[in-house]
Amino acid sequence: MAVEAEKTKYRSYLSEEEEVKNIHWRYGPPNYDLVDKLFEEGRTKIWPAGSLEDKVQRLVKTWEMEVFHKANPAEYKTIDTKNYTVSVNGRKPLTIEEKGKLGGGYNVLLQTALPEEFRAYDPAKETMESALKVFRTTFPRGFALEILHVYSGPPVIVYKFRHWGFMEGPFKGNSPTGEMVEFFGMAIFELNENSKVVKVQFFYDPGQLLEALLKGKPSDEYKIKAPSTCPFLLQQSNLDK
């Protein structure tokens, strides 16, 4: 398991010294206050400190923080960047370079083979920045993550997860509902001999998320685009990154 030096409450490698002096952040150091509060209020599992589940949850949260917020992959501490791949629902594994070309983050997780006219969210039309704005607008308090069950420990970690948040902002022209939105999935993290992640596989139904986001009535009021730059918004964590 990855070294747990310089840790905050739920993530490693995010101490004040790391934030201020050493890391090239995409939009400045991420702020997890809101999503951590959401996590603590809505989680269904509280794992004992130091347990396998606690360690896996910390690894996954730290991994998300790095891939979403660190601008330079050379500064990733949870990942073997030379050998790393990520795939979703059995699709072709992507290297870090390929992931970057797709816009990373949400665009990788929401890949789809649907015809363009049926896409509630179209990764081909979004950049890393625009995707972050979309989901941080939809979930102003964040989109929390918890580990529900760990089926096997390192070097091949298999776990079940839950993501949830409250749709208190619009999504792609659909009005906020205020309702909780959640989805469940499975993931496999493979670690090398140095406890670095070399392979990630996610298995989940994106429709479980997107269907809930389309419950709000379409409204012209919410089709107005957000400003092109919004540093505060971009600094906030959303997918428990």
User: CA-to-CA distance for 30 and 230, rounded, in angstroms?
Assistant: 14
- Tell me which of 59-68, 102-111, 135-144, 230-239 is least confident: 230-239
pLDDT at 230 over 50: no
**What is the pLDDT at residue 14?**
80
Q: Give the architecture (CATH level 2) of 17-233.
A: Roll (3.10)
Residues 21-37, mean pLDDT to the nearest whole number: 89
The whole-number pLDDT of residue 19 equals 56
**Is this model's pTM higher than 0.85 or not?**
yes
pLDDT at 209 over 50: yes
On the question of pLDDT at 150 being above 50, the answer is yes
Q: What is the pLDDT of residue 5?
A: 45
pLDDT for position 162: 98
Query: What pLDDT is recorded for position 7?
Result: 59
What confidence score (pLDDT) does residue 89 get?
Answer: 96
pLDDT band, very low/low/confident/very high, at 51 (cuts 50, 70, 90): very high
Of the chain, the percentage scoring pLDDT greater than 90 comes to 74
Confidence of residue 17 (pLDDT cuts 50, 70, 90): low
Summary mean pLDDT of the chain: 88
Section 144-160 average pLDDT: 97
Can you tell me the mean pLDDT for 196-220? 93
In degrees, to the nearest 5, what angle opens at C-alpha 29 toward C-alphas 158 and 163? 35
For residue 105, the model assigns a pLDDT of: 87
